[in-house]
Chain A
Amino acid sequence: MNEPQMPSCQNVSDALSDYLEGYLSDRSRISLEQHLEMCPLCLVYLDHFRQIYHVTGKPEPEQLPEDFTDVMGKVIRAWREEQDSGNQPDAD
């Protein structure tokens, strides 16, 4: 089997999301990791990406509107009234 061709820095940076998501084939992953071993700039770039990936994956505290329960109740009642009256507008 042929050795995987070494990707360029541009190829590596283009593939980093797929790398972090685990979407790369074994062959592509191995050649990307071989490039990273020899390229300090790409390694720092990957570290930036990892940090972005980690931070954006942190859920933010959920905040509902204060009157959410009231509003939800009104919405449900309005829908039931539409159903009871047979008047059902399009959803969109």
Chain B
Amino acid sequence: MNAAHPDDLALAQQIGAGDEAAAATFFTNHGGELFGFARKMLSDVNAAEDVLQEAMLGVLRSIKKYDGRVSLRAWSFAILRHKVVDQIRKQSRDLLVSTADPELENYDNSGSWNANQSIEPWDKQAELLDIVRYCLEQLPHNQREALHLRAIEGMPALEVAEVLEMSYSNLRQTLHRGRQSVRRCTDQHMGADS
């Protein structure tokens, strides 16, 4: 099988052969985004640091299994994600996963907006970024991690689906539900008196 990411495969083989400088370069290039993901998922800087350390060791221990099918970056995110989920379970916290569609109540039987539905333009542009970031933090875990990887890290959707071990169509639905939730939350805060 041809590797989809031959450069990454070559780098992984270099690291696997014991090239510490290559490993250090890879982690220096991607440590920030890996740490950012851990922080967003765990909301605890010390736990995020521990998980990053465990994930880096996990990447090195598994590096010889890397086959170049997805990018080395996405593959590392997948290892980190497992560590994050382990950490959440260790803290006896529930992994809040949602597939619900709370938007359904907005429509009548024909699929048109309900007669009393009001959707106003947002005018507090200066506050939008902070409000959206707050709303992202309120999302169920599955929507938060999908939106973080796809929107904030800009990872290709197919790679995000690989990292999250879900089908492509399920990912698209999860992303959409997440954006709907962020929109609804943002709308509520945009309407609130400041």
Contacts and interface: CB of A to CB of B under 8 A. Distances in A.
Contact of B24 (A9, A23, A72, A83): A72
Interface string B153-191: 110010000000000000010011001101100110000
Contacts of A62: 32-33, 35-36
Closest 8 CB pairs of A and B: A8-B111, A62-B32, A10-B111, A91-B62, A56-B151, A17-B176, A79-B60, A91-B61
Question: Helix, strand, loop or mixed for chain B's interface?
Answer: helix
Interface residues of A, number: 49
A68 B180 CA distance: 36
25 contacts: A8-B110, A13-B103, A16-B176, A17-B176, A18-B172, A42-B113, A44-B120, A47-B121, A49-B183, A52-B182, A53-B179, A55-B128, A56-B136, A58-B129, A60-B133, A65-B45, A71-B52, A72-B27, A72-B56, A75-B56, A82-B61, A88-B61, A91-B58, A91-B65, A92-B58
A23 B156 CA distance: 13
Interface string A51-92: 111011111101111001101111110111011000011111
Interface of A: 8-11, 13-14, 16-18, 21, 23, 41-42, 44-45, 47-49, 51-53, 55-60, 62-65, 68-69, 71-76, 78-80, 82-83, 88-92
B186 A52 contact: yes
The residue in A44, A55, A60 that gathers the most chain B C-beta atoms within 10 A of its C-beta is A55
Contact of A57 (B32, B49, B154, B187): B154
Nearest to B82: A92
B111 A9 contact: yes
Given A42-B113, A58-B129, A71-B49, 8 more contacts: A8-B110, A9-B113, A14-B176, A18-B176, A52-B186, A60-B133, A62-B35, A69-B28
A69 B27 CA distance: 9
Contacts of A16: 176, 179
Given A62-B32, A63-B35, A75 B176 contact: no
Interface of B: 18, 20, 23-24, 27-28, 31-33, 35-36, 45, 49, 52-53, 56-62, 65, 79, 82, 103-104, 106-107, 110-113, 117, 119-122, 128-129, 132-133, 136, 147, 151-154, 157, 172, 175-176, 179-180, 182-183, 186-187
Nearest to B62: A91
Given A8-B112, A9-B112, A92-B82, A64 B120 contact: no
